[in-house]
Amino acid sequence: MARFASSVVGKEETVEITDREWLLAHERAMVLGGQARLMAIVNVTPDSFSDGGHHAAVEDAVSYSLRCLEEGADILDIGGESTRPGAEPVSAAQEQDRVLPVIEALSRQTDALISIDTYRAETARLALMAGAHIINDVYGLQREPEIAAVAASFRAGVCMMHTGRGREVLADPIADQTLFFQQSLAIAAAAQVLPATIVLDPGFGFAKETVEVNMDLMARFDELHGLGFPLLVGTSRKRFLGTLSGREATERDHATATTSVLLRMQGASVFRVHNVKVNRDALAVADAMLAAKTRI
């Protein structure tokens, strides 16, 4: 059991987070709670905002993925379409041509846990057949709801991300998170997605354009535990960190690690990052602090 302290209305409250098993496809599972978990970003794209084109070739993506595992990644998140604002859309066929050979190669060469970063039901199905274990959907199952049935049929892990894109957003950030996730969870329940396969991602940077919006969400992050699911976060190299630090995207890893620690102390379980090594070290210190708190 991990104990997370947070300040609420001028007083310190303690949130108890027990270890829980995250069920994944192909009869795999991961324990979330007492140890921070790292999801390495592997963009098989020419135009992602900080590493576009670096891993576009299958061999480069596989080599980079293996290096991430050596540096401490628990999950490899393979994506074939950039989600940055203004990115050119790609077809399902283009996306699949990019990601499936990488997933197939990694499945042959390693026993690593693999996530497919997609909102498309057919891409998710093919990726799971190729060996992926987790669906990471930046539209929270709401763009192609059929993806929920795919997840259920494979008993795949599902990461539902909150987004404000293409919809009206409530003024209160936690109220908007709750409204959005209620809709996502209803889609999942209708498709008989097992609750033990679900994690939620508040979607830092996705239609959260200002520093203030992102920092308000971070400051109130502990309130998201009321949703009842483990929490995954992806602040890595986001624009709001560039505004705060004055640094370009590839130079924001230390700022990212700072947010990882802050969010870990509020109970985040999984961290989706570009730089595994820097975040691993920072989170090792955070985990040691949390372990010390349980002894006090």
| Tens-place pLDDT, residues 152-195 | 999 999 999 999 988 899 999 999 999 999 999 999 999 999 99
What pLDDT is stored for residue 48 in this prediction?
A: 46
| pLDDT band of 89, cuts 50, 70, 90 | confident
What pLDDT is stored for residue 57 in this prediction?
A: 86
What pLDDT is stored for residue 85 in this prediction?
A: 67
Sign of CA dihedral 5, 10, 11, 16: negative
Q: Output phi, psi for 77, to 5 deg.
A: -105, 110
Q: Answer whether residue 86 is part of any domain.
A: yes
Provide the token pair at 185. Answer: 């969870």
d(CA 69, CA 43): 15
What pLDDT is stored for residue 17 in this prediction?
A: 63
HEC secondary structure over 3-34: EEEEEECCEEEEEEECCEEEEECCCEEEEECC
Q: Answer whether residue 106 is part of any domain.
A: yes
| pLDDT band of 296, cuts 50, 70, 90 | confident
With H, G, I as helix, E, B as strand and everything else as coil, classify residue 124.
helix
- What percent of the chain clears pLDDT 70, i.e. is strictly above it? 90
Taking Cα atoms as reference points, which of 138, 282, 286 lies closest to residue 202? Answer: 138
In degrees to the nearest 10, what's the CA dihedral of 161, 37, 195, 143?
20
Q: Answer whether residue 184 is part of any domain.
A: no
- Residue-wise pLDDT for 121-136, tens only, equals 999 999 999 999 999 9
Residues 6+ apart with CB under 8 A from 73: 38, 39, 40, 112, 276
Q: Which domain holds residue 79?
A: 35-119
Please tell me whether the overall predicted TM-score, pTM, comes out greater than 0.85 for this model.
Answer: yes
At residue 278, does pLDDT exceed 50? yes
Query: Which residue numbers are catalytic?
Result: 238, 272
Q: Answer whether residue 60 is part of any domain.
A: yes
Q: Answer whether residue 169 is part of any domain.
A: no
Q: How many domains does the chain have?
A: 1
Q: Answer whether residue 15 is part of any domain.
A: no
- Residue-wise pLDDT for 26-54, tens only, equals 999 999 999 999 999 999 987 544 544 55
